[in-house]
Structure 1
Amino acid sequence: MSGGVGPTGSDITFPKEQEAIHEEHQEPNHSLKPPNMKSTFLSFPQLNSLAVIVILASSGMVSLEDLSFLIFSFIYLFFISKVAFPSKPNATYPQIFNPKNKLLRLYINIGAIVGLYGPIAYILEGTYEGDKEGIKAASPHLFLLASQIFMEGIVFTGGFSPPSRAFVPVMYNSRRLFTIVDWLRTEFYKAEAQQSGSDTRVMVGRVLAVANMAFWCFNLFGFLLPVYLPKVFQMYYSGHKEKV
């Protein structure tokens, strides 16, 4: 699974997948592949993400706006990869961060637990307690994160340039913050509503929503924008200057 600090270098991925990605980047001709979806294959994390996308979309718990956002991001990604940030021939794009870094792996694991596994468990448990409001509130965040994971796999295996890859986590992280705000509002005001689950579930939902807001706000404003993006653009444009 990737969600940012994975193939694109900015969010979440499994440790074993990081090592495979790191090895793949060592292949001399890997970065020379142009964006070509025919060479793209679905990995196990991508298949899982696609399953979550289909299930949530078919359940009616995802709004038309979020579905439209997924379609728009797919189209816009290909547009900027062709017009604004094309992958140049003979350009090499090394990984920005070492996937074997222990601190990075810890950060990735925390993000996976808070942003993915926690909401999945919360939604599944909510089906037994009949917490319709909580399930509906948490689903948009999970849908968008699964969409981000799926899109990051596409841009990585498709050989897109670093700025095009960076577009995915930044845009999806920004969009998810709005869904988490709605999730927070629902959790803190649903205690008086019917079918909100047990008191323990209400407390767990609030803690999980707050944890996601804190983590993804830091991820966007403390990592992606001030750290990751400058490194991405420096790599991309310095590579072109060397060719001049």
Structure 2
Amino acid sequence: MSGATLAAGPRIPKHIDETHGEKYDRRAGDTAGLGGIMGSLRVIELQLVAFIIVFSASGLVPLLDLAFPVFLSIYAFLLSALVFPNYGNAESLQVFKGNRLFQLYVVFGTVIGLFLPLAYVLGGFARNDQDSVRAATPHLFLLSFQVLSENLISGLNIFSVPVRALLPILYSMRRLFSLNGWVISTWFTNKVGQDIRIQDEYWVYFGRALSAANAIYYTINLFCFLIPMFLPRAFETYFNDRAQYQAEHPKQEKSSMSSMLPSKLPVPSLLKKPHSEEGKKSEEDKKSS
């Protein structure tokens, strides 16, 4: 969800001779530990689809946030088809290797970005706190779409590394606006009264801490991980793969065009006649002289 799924590389097949169209069961490199925290990808994807449908039908997500994933999906396909075609294999799509610190970073983002906001929204429904639910739902909706997109892209292996890097960056930039609205709602709109119950006071503080933690985490993730680290390495890997592909498959347009042209162009007969007539006149002049 923080782009770490795509940065760690795709799931690679069980056997080397399997094609990329078949099923994948583990990730490249030493990132297999990430699968334990995320569980079964199929179950997670079905749950995310259910969350997206519920959030879309609830009317709590703004129209711009509903249209953004559709626009971004179309944009990613256009980039992959027209600008950044995929030249690399599954191993080249692995930008970072998942060490222990990297796994803890992913786990922390999963907990504060997905699980706790989901509990916060469900608790808001149970407490009939419409303001808290309306403030947290856009972030949770966009993050669910982002996780679903990252899992599908990582499994299908059809997008190049630059598209994989740009996708979480664009999602994160959009979600920062949603997180800004959540922070404003919890810290400035929902104020703690004098005669408030202790449970309600704890609920307000929980919302404030959660919104601030998400805003800080995803701001750092965008400006300290995705843009300065993931994006440059993704483009470097892509250009190396493209150079290697062009070296192995050189363009033969010039040779094919030269083979189509004849070696000697025939001289038109109309151009030969004047020269032959001039030759006959010169011979007649010599004889007369």
The bucket for the TM-score relative to the shorter chain is 0.7 to 0.9
Does residue 146 of the first structure (1) align with residue 152 of the second (2)?
no
Q: How does 1:138-177 map to 2 (within 5 A)?
A: 138-159=136-157, 160-177=159-176
* Kept after mapping to 1: 8 A contact 2:162/2:235: yes
Report what 2:123 is aligned to: 125
Contact 2:192-2:204 within 8 A present in 1 as well? no
Shift of 1:75: 0.8
Aligned to 1:205: 207
Larger RCO, structures 1/2 (Cα 8 Å, 6+ apart): 1
Q: Which runs of 5+ in 2 are unaligned?
A: 22-40, 194-198, 248-289
2:72 corresponds to 1:73:
yes
Partner of 1:83: 82
Counterpart of 1:215 in structure 2 is 217
Give me the CA root mean square deviation.
2.6
Which residue identity lines up with residue 183 of structure 2 in the other structure?
A: L
The 3 A distance-change label for structure 1 pair 124 and 172 is same
Measure, in 2, the Cα distance between the counterparts of 1:24 and 1:76.
28
User: TM-score, normalized by length of structure 2?
Assistant: 0.70
State, as a whole percentage, how many aligned pairs show the same letter: 33
Which deviations, in whole Å up to 9, do the C-alpha atoms of 1:161-202 show, x marking residues without a partner?
1111112211101100000000001111233499xx811111
Give aligned pairs, total.
222
Change (3 A) 1:66 1:180: same
- How do 1:99-118 and structure 2 match up within 5 A? 99=98, 101-118=99-116
Contact conserved, 2:109 with 2:217, CA < 8 A, in 1?
A: yes
- The question of whether the paired residues in 2 share the 8 Å contact of 1:173 and 1:216 is answered with yes
Q: AA paired with 1:51?
A: A
How has the CA–CA distance of structure 1 residues 236 and 136 changed in structure 2, closer, same or farther, with 3 Å as cutoff?
A: same
Map Cα deviations across residues 140-172 of structure 1 (whole Å, 9 max, x no partner).
000000000111122222321111111221110
- Specify the SS of the correspondent of 2:83: coil
Aligned equivalents of 1:122, 1:242: Cα separation in 2: 49
Bigger-Rg structure (1/2)? 2
1:30-41 counterparts in 2 under 5 A?
A: none
1:129 and 1:198 in contact (8 A); partners too: no
Helix, strand or coil at the partner of 2:7: coil
Q: Do the aligned residues in 2 keep the contact of 1:3 with 1:152 (CA within 8 Å)?
A: no
CA distance in 2, matches of 1:231, 1:57: 35
